[in-house]
Every structure is written in structure tokens, then in C-alpha cells.
Copies of this chain bind each other. A is one copy, B any other.
Amino acid sequence: MRVSQLPFLSLLLLVAIPLQAQTPLLGFDAAGADSQRALEQEFDSHLDAGDLDAWLREMSRTPHHVGSARGREVVEYIAEHFREWGYDTEIVEYEVLFPSPRTRELELVSPGHYTAGLFEDSLEEDPSTSNIKDLLPPYNAYSIDGEVEAELVFVNYGTPADYEVLERYGVSVEGKIAISRYGGSWRGIKPKLAAEKGAIGTLIYSDPADDGYGAGDTYPDGPFKHESGVQRGSVMDMPTYPGDVLTPFIGATKEAPRLAREDAPTITKIPVLPISYRDALPLLSAMGGEVVPEQWRGGLPITYHMGPGPARVRLKLEFNWDMVTAYNVIAKLSGTEFPDQWVIRGNHHDGWNHGAADPLSGLVSLMGEAKALGALAAAGKGPKRTVVYAAWDAEEVGLIGSTEWVEDNAQMLSERAVAYINTDGNSRGFVNIGGSHVLEKMANEVMRDVIDPQTGVTVDQRRRARLEVEGSEQVRSELKSRKDLRISPLGSGSDYSPFLQHLGIASLNIGFGGEGSDGSYHTMYDTYEHFTRFKDPGLVYGVSLSQVAGRATLRLAYAPRLPFEFTGLADNVNLYLSEVEKLAEDMRKQTQSENARIASGVYELALDPTQTIRAPLPKAEVPYFSFAALRNAMAALEDAAADYSAVANSGTPASVQDNVLLYTSERALIDIDGLPGRPWFTHHIYAPGFYTGYGVKTLPGVREAIEERQYDIVEEEVNAAATVLNRLAVQVRELAE
């Protein structure tokens, strides 16, 4: 080989990691950016897919839910590794109420008779499905006990819109058992709404059109839901508050004062049980009444009817209402310069069963990061700020481990927490980052620095390619006009919720997906075999997740000036504000014209007189609201954000006070009074929907007041949101001056 070929080789390297040396890094000066990127390369060199695979295989051998003996073993396994890698590791315990099933009975009593199996088949093709010591059978945690017998009413997804349809058909769930399919809203909304409408029980099944053979080949031929598969899951009323149902607002320590169980507002009001489509078929087949509207039809080979009845079922549920210990593993590596500024990185460890995908595929990435950072620290390159790795317990049943720890340490975390980086499982495909928009720019810089293992381009480029191919014209046009990709706002569904929405700690949630197929979610089939066949063979995206979440953690831990930024936040919140203004406007027009149609009698002429469907009921007309307070607050925030942006880009060194102002900026967005009817949720920009569950509502106080037609509190909520945004604007102004 001739020497002159060498420059060609380095050119190739430049192509592979494009322009990094030339690209600035938020929070670092030019030299700092170079050395940070060198450090991250070194970090990467410690990541090993083989490690991740071995840890995943071991921890997912058998079921390991909260309160199980195997769960305790997994905790020790994790803690030992952290200790081995040099972390100050403790196992923090909380005493929490955890119901496990004692009696589960479901039968069709007429017409005909069918006793539901309520079990999942073990499969020869997947040995893990025979390792079922400590198996939790299919159930919904925090269903109340009860025995009920009544006719069935099919409520589709059981959303507010579905009940409006039933009302038009004159069908009520009052005194009936609602049978709903999974999807359309978070599962906990289904029994909550059904109970509000007078139902005495709820069944939830996975329809094969959504999650079964309709979606693709079923396990073990393919990844999709086996006919016996049942999605377990918590139905605690998390949009009211997550965590231990007996200790809202406070840590569930041994000595904590507790509600009586019967006073716990987040336990369901009626019994609820999830079932497979194999068990749903005989029940739905036995139903009569009106044929459902087209959008309600599922994938079973029957005509779907809404009832009520004649199918009549008996449902009996009894639970062991045990107090069990939840174990969080908390592993600290103290910061060399700012030990009281904590960058927290977490993933839960409890699974509904084997939990290979959920949560272990995320946890092994976190462990890989911890090992790599431990190695850097051991080489004298430890972080400026303290990094805390957390493996949470009892996430599945209600974000309990994280919530109790956050409540227990609220004061300290409010003072010290710089940010929280969450993962909760992983798959193959495209990076997804959701979270606080003060971290949007940093998140984008990270995506531009990590290479996709399948294509060799950056994960940012891959995500952009997908948006270019699948996005709307608006999304495509924004790809050209906006430098950064938008990160999505967070609702609920994982452990970031208490950090972000209760304490106002800037948070990110990160995962890859879109190419791994799945029907294993919360079933017995979430095994190592399923995961490595269908979701991330070889755990190559496990390493990618370590690279993305690791960089986010490292930049927050090493940056002289914390990589927070406010122009992206202002841009996104302006969008949300436009949305709620448009929502009010559209609802006003639609309500007016629909009420006019109803009053004019056209429905009576348009509807088939031989059918039961009737005109909708008129709705309260939407008044005009003033959004001026929010518009003014946004103007102030935009100005301050632009000015701070100039400061951040100027290379001015950050004082300690600057960094405190930066990482407490998200605190400005919470307000101790919380959201209407749910004071635990204090964030006025992001919250889970009260009637949608996990799905986010941005500007939630304002948006939900409009959506739920509580017109009298809309302007109050506009003012509340304006107050927190003004508070942030003042804080950013202080940073900019």
C-alpha cells in the first residue's frame, strides 16, 4: 500500500462521522466540544452488544414482577453489577399495596354457556413460556374486588366519543357489563368511564384486527398476538395520581401515613378483567342488538352487535391485597465539580412476566451505559456532575418505584436534579425522543452524532428520511425550514411522569422502534426468544440506545454550561397555543352548526325511521375566550429565549448561578395548585389526558377545559398557564442579562 492512500482513509472516517469536529455543541466551547466528542467515542468503545444480550437472557429467564422472589434476585443482580462498576449503590425500599389475583372467573351464562379459559398457552417453540414460576396470570391491577352478573354492552374502545355513539342508539351501560377492546385510549380509562356511565363491570379484550392475526402472523409463526395472549396492565387512575394508591404526595416508607384502601381514589370503582380474543369470541358471538357502526368492527369472523345482551355473563374477581416491598436500585457516581447537581438516568426492572422487551431491553442499555461511564471514571475521566442510575421497581403496576422515590425525595430533587433521562424498552428502527423542549436542541445534537447500525447514516438522517417519506406536506416542509426535529411532548406511561409532571424536572424519554413488530406487550410471550427474533436481533439497537441516552446523560453531566435552550420550547408552546385557539374556534363552529342541524330537524329526515339511531343531543355553545394573557407571556418568553440563545452561542462561560437557573427552568412551569381536579399534576405545559390516559395533553388545563366544555374555567387556566410561562420568561431574561 502506498502512503498516499492514507488521506483517503481519513476521508472515509469523516464521512462516517460527518463534520463532528466542525460542529458546535451546546454548552461547550469549540475545544470542549472536541474533547467531549472524543470522550463519547471512548464511551462507545466500552459498549458491547454481547454484554446486553447476556444480561437480557439472564434477567428474562422467568417472570419477575414486584413482590416476587425472582424480582428480588433481579434487583440483587443489577445492584451487584453497579457496585462492580464502581457505583455507590443502594437498594431503596418502599412498602406498597399490590393486588395479585386470587379468584378470576368469567362465564357466559346465557344464551348457551362458556367458561373463559383466562390462561395463555405455553408454546413448544418458546421454552421461556414453560418457565413460569411466579407467573402473574392475566389481570388488571387495581381493579376492585367484586362479583357481578349482567348483560354485555359492546362499547368499542370505551372512549367518551364511543359513549356518544351508544347514546345516539339509545343503548346504556347502566347496570350492565361493558366489553371494550384494547386501544383508542389508555386501558385505565375504560373502567373509569364505564363506571361513570353506570356499568357494574368491564371486560377488555385484544381484538385481532388491532392486535392479532389482523396485524400479521401470530406467535410463534410471527410476532403478533397469540389467540390466547392477554395484555395485562394497571388500571389505577394514574391521570389522577400515579404511584402507591395509599400514599399520594408522599413516599411510601414503612412509617408513612396511609389512606384506608376503601378511601384510595385511584382504585377502580367496578371490577375489570382483560381477556384474550379466544375468550372474547364466544361472548361477542352471543350478543344481539344493533349492528355496530363501521368504525367499531373488529377482526373476529362475526357481525359485531352493541347489545345490550342477550349475552349475559358472570364475572368474579378477588385479589390478594398484599403490602409488598418495592426495591429501587439507585447507583451514584459523584460529580467531580458539582456533586450536588444530579443527572438521573432510569429504566424500570419489574416485568409483567419475563419482561424481555418491557422493560429489560431498555434496562440492559442503561447498564451498558453505566458500565462504560464507570470505566471512564476509573480512568480518571469522571463526570463534573453526579450521575445517578436508577432501576425502578413496580413501574408496571403504576409507576410506583419511581413515584415513591420522587415523592420521598421531593425537596432534594427539586434542588439537585438537573434532568431525568428515561428509557423503557427498545426495538429496531428509528429513534424516538420525547420530552422537555428545553432539551430539544441537545437531543437533536445527539441524534446528529449517532450512527444507525443498519444504514450507516446518523439516526437523525434516518428519522428525517422516514418523515420525508411518510410525513404530511407540512412535516416535509418543516424538515427544510426548521433546523431541529421536534421532540414529542410527554404524557404518561413510564417513570418520567413523577419527575416531569410532579416536580418539573426536565426529562427525556428515548427509544428506538418502528421496525420491530410486536404482539407480546404485557403478555407471557414477552420473552428473550420473541425479542431476539422480532425486535432487536443481536441487540444492535440496544447499543444504539446506549449511545443516544449515554450522550444525553454525558453532555448534561460534563457540559460547563448546561445544554438547555428556550427558543425550541417557545416555538413548540406557540404551536400548542395555536392549537388550543383553533380547538375553541373549531368547536364553536361545529357546535353551532351541529346544534342548528339538530334544531332544524334534518336528522329526523336523514335517519332511517326503522332504525333506533337518533339525532345527537345538542351541546353547550362555545363562548369566545381571551387567550391574550398566554399570547403576551409567549411574546415575553420568545424575546428572552432569543436573547439567551445569543448568550449561549457567544461562548460566555456559565456561572454556578447560571447553571442553577438553567436546570431549574422547567420548575418555573409547575404550579403548586396543579391542574383542575388533580393537584398532583403540577406542570402546566404537559400532562396525560384525564380522559385519554397516557396520551399527552399540552397546555392541559386550557385544552381539557375546552374539550370538556368547562367554559367557566378556561380563562382561569389560560391565566395559570400564562403565569408559569411569564415566570419562565423572567428566569430566562435573568440568564440572558
Known: A454-B609, A609-B454. A603 touches B213 (CB 8 A): no
Q: Contact between A301 and B300 (Cβ–Cβ < 8 Å)?
A: yes
A215 cross-chain contacts in B, Cβ below 8 A: 303
The complex places the Cα of A593 from the Cα of B469 at a distance, in Å, of: 10
Interface membership of A302, Cβ < 8 A:
yes
State which residues 579-625 of A face B: CB under 8 Å. 593, 597, 600, 602-610
A300 cross-chain contacts in B, Cβ below 8 A: 301
Q: Count chain B CB atoms within 10 A of each CB in A224, A291, A457 and give the residue with the most.
A: A291
Q: Contact between B603 and A469 (Cβ–Cβ < 8 Å)?
A: yes
Interface membership of A475, Cβ < 8 A:
no
Could you tell me the distance in whole angstroms from the C-beta of A86 to the nearest C-beta in chain B? 38
A470 cross-chain contacts in B, Cβ below 8 A: 606
Q: Contact between B303 and A597 (Cβ–Cβ < 8 Å)?
A: no
Known: A429-B608, A455-B605, A606-B470. A214 touches B462 (CB 8 A): no
Q: Count chain B CB atoms within 10 A of each CB in A208, A429, A597, A606 and give the residue with the most.
A: A606
Residue in chain B with minimal CB distance to A467: B606
State which residues 444-503 of A face B: CB under 8 Å. 454-455, 457, 461-462, 464-466, 468-470, 476
The complex places the Cα of A461 from the Cα of B605 at a distance, in Å, of: 8
Q: Contact between B301 and A208 (Cβ–Cβ < 8 Å)?
A: yes
Known: A301-B301, A597-B468. A606 touches B291 (CB 8 A): no
Interface membership of A222, Cβ < 8 A:
yes
Interface membership of A216, Cβ < 8 A:
yes
The complex places the Cα of A216 from the Cα of B605 at a distance, in Å, of: 23
The complex places the Cα of A311 from the Cα of B429 at a distance, in Å, of: 32
Could you tell me the distance in whole angstroms from the C-beta of A507 to the nearest C-beta in chain B? 28
The complex places the Cα of A301 from the Cα of B602 at a distance, in Å, of: 39
A608 cross-chain contacts in B, Cβ below 8 A: 429, 515
Q: Contact between A216 and B303 (Cβ–Cβ < 8 Å)?
A: yes
Interface membership of A218, Cβ < 8 A:
yes
State which residues 289-306 of A face B: CB under 8 Å. 291, 297, 299-303
Determine how many copies of this chain the complex contains.
2
Q: Count chain B CB atoms within 10 A of each CB in A429, A461, A469, A476 and give the residue with the most.
A: A469
The complex places the Cα of A603 from the Cα of B461 at a distance, in Å, of: 12
Interface membership of A217, Cβ < 8 A:
yes
A297 cross-chain contacts in B, Cβ below 8 A: 209, 214, 299
Q: Contact between A605 and B465 (Cβ–Cβ < 8 Å)?
A: yes
A213 cross-chain contacts in B, Cβ below 8 A: 301-303
A597 cross-chain contacts in B, Cβ below 8 A: 468-469
The complex places the Cα of A301 from the Cα of B216 at a distance, in Å, of: 11
Known: A217-B291, A291-B216, A291-B217. A469 touches B606 (CB 8 A): yes
The complex places the Cα of A182 from the Cα of B518 at a distance, in Å, of: 31
Q: Contact between B606 and A214 (Cβ–Cβ < 8 Å)?
A: no
Residue in chain B with minimal CB distance to A455: B605
Residue in chain B with minimal CB distance to A609: B454
Residue in chain B with minimal CB distance to A470: B606
Could you tell me the distance in whole angstroms from the C-beta of A544 to the nearest C-beta in chain B? 14
Known: A602-B469, A609-B454. A217 touches B301 (CB 8 A): no
A455 cross-chain contacts in B, Cβ below 8 A: 604-605, 609
The complex places the Cα of A609 from the Cα of B466 at a distance, in Å, of: 13
Q: Contact between B429 and A606 (Cβ–Cβ < 8 Å)?
A: no
Contact mask for chain A residues 199-214; partner B; CB cutoff 8 A; 1 contact, 0 none? 0000000001100011
A222 cross-chain contacts in B, Cβ below 8 A: 291, 303
A609 cross-chain contacts in B, Cβ below 8 A: 454-455
The complex places the Cα of A283 from the Cα of B297 at a distance, in Å, of: 24
The complex places the Cα of A462 from the Cα of B466 at a distance, in Å, of: 47
Known: A462-B606, A515-B608, A604-B455. A303 touches B469 (CB 8 A): no
Could you tell me the distance in whole angstroms from the C-beta of A613 to the nearest C-beta in chain B? 11
A469 cross-chain contacts in B, Cβ below 8 A: 597, 602-603, 606-607
A462 cross-chain contacts in B, Cβ below 8 A: 605-606
The complex places the Cα of A297 from the Cα of B224 at a distance, in Å, of: 15
The complex places the Cα of A454 from the Cα of B611 at a distance, in Å, of: 12
Among B217, B299, B465, contact of A602 (Cβ-Cβ < 8 Å): B465
Could you tell me the distance in whole angstroms from the C-beta of A585 to the nearest C-beta in chain B? 14
Residue in chain B with minimal CB distance to A452: B605
Residue in chain B with minimal CB distance to A611: B515
A301 cross-chain contacts in B, Cβ below 8 A: 208, 213, 299-301
Q: Contact between A606 and B466 (Cβ–Cβ < 8 Å)?
A: yes
A209 cross-chain contacts in B, Cβ below 8 A: 297
Q: Contact between B602 and A303 (Cβ–Cβ < 8 Å)?
A: no
The complex places the Cα of A177 from the Cα of B224 at a distance, in Å, of: 29
Known: A300-B301, A515-B610. A457 touches B217 (CB 8 A): no
Contact mask for chain A residues 214-234; partner B; CB cutoff 8 A; 1 contact, 0 none? 111110001010000000000
The complex places the Cα of A16 from the Cα of B218 at a distance, in Å, of: 61
Q: Count chain B CB atoms within 10 A of each CB in A208, A302, A605, A610 and give the residue with the most.
A: A605
The complex places the Cα of A722 from the Cα of B303 at a distance, in Å, of: 51
The complex places the Cα of A608 from the Cα of B429 at a distance, in Å, of: 7
The complex places the Cα of A413 from the Cα of B291 at a distance, in Å, of: 49
The complex places the Cα of A215 from the Cα of B297 at a distance, in Å, of: 9
Binding site for B on A (CB under 8 A): 208-209, 213-218, 222, 224, 291, 297, 299-303, 429, 454-455, 457, 461-462, 464-466, 468-470, 476, 515, 593, 597, 600, 602-610
* Across the A-B interface, the 5 shortest Cβ-Cβ residue pairs: A465-B605, A465-B602, A469-B606, A465-B606, A466-B606
- A–B Cβ pairs within 8 angstroms, 7 of them: A213-B302, A216-B291, A457-B605, A465-B604, A465-B606, A469-B606, A470-B606
Known: A213-B302, A217-B291, A464-B602. 12 other contacts (CB 8 A): A209-B297, A213-B301, A214-B297, A214-B303, A215-B303, A216-B303, A224-B303, A297-B299, A455-B605, A465-B604, A468-B597, A468-B600
